[in-house]
Chains A and B, each alone.
Chain A
Amino acid sequence: MILGSPRAPFLDDLKTGDELSELVYDVTQECVDAYGMASLDLNPVHMDPQWAARAQVFGFPETVAHGMMSMSYAASLVLRAFGASARITAVESTFTKPVPVGSTVTVRGEVRDTHPIGDGKDFAVIRAIATDQHGDTISVNEIHLQLPRRPADQQ
């Protein structure tokens, strides 16, 4: 099943391996600037091309996208599949490759597992992998999404 509907399904509707509609974004200095101002992370490695060219924190002269931007897009992938009000309860991300301005990132996600633990705390784990235009993984993300069970009268 491809999850692209804005309506959040019930936990019972999900199966391991269900995919989310992918999300693609271009990493331009303009979008890094917008994210930097919004997040208030104005580190010059993101926000100052002249400084980045001199400091070469990652061994190349370009500014790079924020790791938290990559993490946020992984969460956005889930919001777009399950609806803006979807109840994300945890996000864990590992950043595996810096993302210089000029990159194109694709985020793909799938249901890794479901947790029907009851007491209104049922959740699914979405694993989202972001890759760059070379196919290299830039971040690995796990998002916990609280979802209701299907009511008995709708079984």
Chain B
Amino acid sequence: MAVSASNAERLTALARTTKQREYARDFVATWRDHVTWDRAPMREAVRLPGEFIVEEEDVLAYNLALGETDPLLVDPEYARVHAPGGTVVVHPLFTTSIGFWLAAPGTPLSWTRTPGARNPFQRVVIREPIKIGDRLSLTVENTDRYIRRGKHYLSAHVVMSDQRGAVKAESWATLILPANHDEARAFATALNDTRP
């Protein structure tokens, strides 16, 4: 079973931007196409298909979700006059949105969408500020998987490049994941469990 009908409706109602409306919002429905910890391709750098074109509405959604009130972050008219680039300033952790957009089911980074995943630590380095209008792509290499205190960790090095080929950001992403397909299925089908 995918997300409950009421929750699917709730998520649909929450979608405001074009990307949010187009996005495959149900991470449970696509669980079979998420790379699992035990089957993740390792030590192979792969450029993910597609690109993320940074739109003003994407940036505003991120900044507003964090409760920002500085007009450089949330007021396009003010930013046109006062911001260094004439557009609203992109939050440094906006890289998160780009990562999830491009980590489509079936890609080597799809494990980031796995139901049951836990986030232990992350590192992001911003080489150049991201700007509205950038066309960004990701190259991903799953660099390590390991077991620590019975938990299964998977790590990736992600390089974000723009339309010029310039590196804008790098991240070292790690999650604790279900160990295999069976454990992933147990989380994905949690709503099928009829126990009280």
Interfacial residues, chain A to chain B (CB-CB below 8 A): 6, 25, 31, 33-35, 37-45, 47-51, 54-55, 57-58, 66-69, 71-73, 75-76, 79-80, 83-85, 87-95, 98
Contact = CB atoms under 8 A, between A and B. Distances in A.
Contact of A35 (B16, B66, B112, B129): B66
A88 B169 CA distance: 12
A26 B114 CA distance: 26
A87 B91 CA distance: 10
Contact of A51 (B84, B93, B191): B191
B4 interface: yes
Contact of A45 (B83, B101, B116, B121): B116
Contacts of B72: 83-85
A48 B123 contact: no
Interface of B: 3-4, 6-7, 10-11, 14-16, 19-20, 23, 25-28, 58, 61-62, 64-68, 70, 72-73, 83-84, 89, 91-93, 96-97, 100-101, 112-127, 129, 187, 190-191, 193
B145 to A, nearest CB: 19
Contacts of B70: 6, 79-80, 83-84
A43 B100 CA distance: 10
Contact of B64 (A38, A41, A72): A38
Contacts of B83: 85
A44 B27 contact: yes
B167 to A, nearest CB: 13
A89 B124 CA distance: 8
Contacts of A58: 118
Given A71-B93, A72-B96, A48 B121 contact: no
> Which 3 A/B pairs are nearest by Cβ-Cβ distance?
A67-B119, A40-B100, A55-B190
A59 to B, nearest CB: 11
A141 B181 CA distance: 33
A76 B65 contact: no
B124 A84 contact: no
B23 A48 contact: no
B61 A37 contact: yes
Contacts of A50: 4, 6-7, 191
